[in-house]
Amino acid sequence: MFENLSDKLQRVFKNLRGEGKLSAANMEQALREIRVALLEADVHFRVVKQLIENIKEKAMGEEVLTALSPTQQVVKIVNEELVKILGSHQSKLRFANEPPSVIMIVGLQGSGKTTTTGKLARWLSNNDHKPLMVSVDVYRPAARDQLAVIARDTRLPIYQGAPDETKPIDLARSARREAIQTGRDVVLVDTAGRLHIDEQLMVELQELKNLLSPVEILFIADAMTGQDAVKSADEFHKRLGITGVILTKMDGDARGGAALSIRTVTGQPLKFVGIGEKFDALEPFYPERAASRILGMGDVLSFIEKVEQNIDQRKAEEMQRKLIDNEFTLEDFRDQLRQIRKLGPLDSILGMMPNIGPIKNLKNVKVDEKEITRIVAIIDSMTPRERANHMIINGSRRRRIARGSGASVQEVNQLLKQYAQTRKMMKTFTGGFMGKKLGKMKLPSIENLLKM
């Protein structure tokens, strides 16, 4: 699902990539392309408008995180806005304080109501609930048979109805009674649909609602129908007051835009998505996962997250100060290496790094993580005094450190030499442009690390 939109957005970001800075001009261009991509993916124009406005506002006002490239910044902002539009949090099913909880399944004909009723029954039963299904689609005998077959296949109970029960209201009432008597805690009411919204259907659904006081009225929307699904969701909501939406057929080549629009247009959350005809092809809807699927940039997003989590601003500033004051010890050096290691495989991190400052030169360097481990091991073998003052590390101390870390004396020598050089180099370096500009980054030592 979402492949279409995802492809388009990726193309936009690819064009942005390589731009050194986020400027008003390239931002404007990117926004225009994002807008077109969203519209082509069937996202409602009102939603697109709002989304673009929010992105724009944020991009202009955003405090620029220097550890991110322009593309990454735009991805970050677009992702945040997508998540917001999709609902921020996963919206769970509600249950009544007093069982049974009645859930009405509504929607147009062919949207997937009956199938979804079976899927929900299966999902509920897998999640410690005891569902009871009932079909009140009395207009088409085949409709009720269809649910009976589903009940048999899922081996979950259904209220079949007495021969004289032919009215939706009666069937629903009896089903609820049976649920109470047999200790079922959720009643799933599969309702009739029409090809188009009509007055009679709405009145019937309204009556059922009044009788049953459902905790949920779930609108089943066929994702393949795009904007029509959004429109009918809106109409159902105005007439009936739906409490959530299940988007079916997301396994098909739906353009995904409906998912983005329904929530904004109706104000009601997506609760599940249907991704196939089988009973287990139902997934709770997670806005964050959906947003990153739409963006198709899971790697970039998780990198952004890591940078935000791991780069501790205060510590970074402290490190800068130490560099400037030449207090940067071997202990600090080790801390930095550990910090870098926490970010994950170095190769991939460098690949995602912005193309600025000292990092620019690192792009072609192959990083060996074993190398970091080895260096950290050598520093670990030093005493705290040695780490605080490398000047005291004489020949016999070097031999001891080598023995303790399983390295050769040459390797220890090399590390110390590099460290001393780095300190010297860093002093000039940080005094200059590194000093303020890259305050949020803690990367200077990668430079020398790579030279070892």
Ligand X SMILES: Nc1nc2c(ncn2[C@@H]2O[C@H](COP(=O)(O)OP(=O)(O)O)[C@@H](O)[C@H]2O)c(=O)[nH]1
For the CB of residue 100, give the shortest distance to Mg ion in the complex, in Å: 21
Q: Which residue is nearest to ligand X (CB)?
A: 274
Report if residue 225 touches ligand X, rule: CB under 6 A.
Answer: no
Q: Pick from 3, 80, 170, 251 the residue near ligand X by CB under 6 A.
A: 251
**Which of 171, 441 has the CB closer to ligand X?**
171
**Residues 238, 134 contacting (CB under 8 angstroms):** no
CA R_g for the chain: 30
Q: Pick from 39, 207, 276, 362 the residue near ligand X by CB under 6 A.
A: 276
For 167, the 3-state DSSP assignment is: coil
Q: Pick from 249, 263, 293, 423 the residue near ligand X by CB under 6 A.
A: 249
Report if residue 114 touches Mg ion, rule: CB under 5 A.
Answer: yes
Residue 246, phi then psi, degrees to nearest 5 = -115, 125
Contact stretch for ligand X (CB under 6 A) within 107-115, 298-306, 339-347, 403-411: 107-115
**Which of 6, 114 has the CB closer to Mg ion?**
114
Amino acid occupying residue 307: V
Residue 277, phi then psi, degrees to nearest 5 = -90, -15
74 token code pair: 């735009």
For the CB of residue 379, give the shortest distance to ligand X in the complex, in Å: 56
Strand partners, 188: 103, 133
DSSP single-letter state for residue 358: G
Q: Per-residue string for binding with ligand X, 191-210, x by CB under 6 A?
A: --x-----------------
Report if residue 248 touches ligand X, rule: CB under 6 A.
Answer: yes
Measured between alpha carbons, how far is residue 260 from residues 35, 235, 265 in Å? 13, 17, 9
Report if residue 109 touches ligand X, rule: CB under 6 A.
Answer: yes
Question: Residue 128 and residue 126: Cα distance in Å, rounded?
Answer: 6
Q: Pick from 70, 87, 100, 112 the residue near ligand X by CB under 6 A.
A: 112
For the CB of residue 115, give the shortest distance to ligand X in the complex, in Å: 3
Report if residue 283 touches ligand X, rule: CB under 6 A.
Answer: no
For the CB of residue 114, give the shortest distance to Mg ion in the complex, in Å: 3
Cα 206 off chain centre by: 36
Residue 110: contacted member of ligand X, Mg ion, none (CB under 5 to 8 Å, by partner type): ligand X
Question: Residue 53 and residue 61: Cα distance in Å, rounded?
Answer: 12
Contact stretch for Mg ion (CB under 5 A) within 21-29, 143-151, 181-189, 410-418: 143-151
Question: Residue 379 and residue 334: Cα distance in Å, rounded?
Answer: 7
Contact stretch for ligand X (CB under 6 A) within 43-51, 201-209, 268-276, 368-376: 268-276
Report if residue 284 touches ligand X, rule: CB under 6 A.
Answer: no
**Residues 269, 244 contacting (CB under 8 angstroms):** yes
256 token code pair: 């995904």
Q: Which residue has the tokens 């593309």?
A: 71
For the CB of residue 257, give the shortest distance to ligand X in the complex, in Å: 17
For 110, the 3-state DSSP assignment is: coil
Residue 366, phi then psi, degrees to nearest 5 = -85, 130
Contact stretch for Mg ion (CB under 5 A) within 137-145, 172-180, 328-336, 411-419: 137-145
Measured between alpha carbons, how far is residue 332 from residues 318, 376, 388, 406 in Å? 10, 11, 9, 22
- Pairing, β 270-274 against β 282-284: antiparallel
Report if residue 111 touches Mg ion, rule: CB under 5 A.
Answer: no
Q: Pick from 99, 252, 404, 439 the residue near ligand X by CB under 6 A.
A: 252
Contact stretch for Mg ion (CB under 5 A) within 136-144, 332-340, 364-372, 442-450: 136-144
* Site size with ligand X, rule: CB under 6 A: 19
For the CB of residue 147, give the shortest distance to ligand X in the complex, in Å: 9
Strand partners, 270: 245
Q: Pick from 72, 101, 111, 430 the residue near ligand X by CB under 6 A.
A: 111
Angle between helices 227-240 and 257-266 (to 10 degrees): 20
Strand partners, 187: 102, 132
Query: Where along the sequence are the contacts to ligand X (CB under 6 A)?
Result: 107, 109-115, 193, 220, 248-249, 251-252, 274-277, 281
Query: Where along the sequence are the contacts to Mg ion (CB under 5 A)?
Result: 113-114, 143
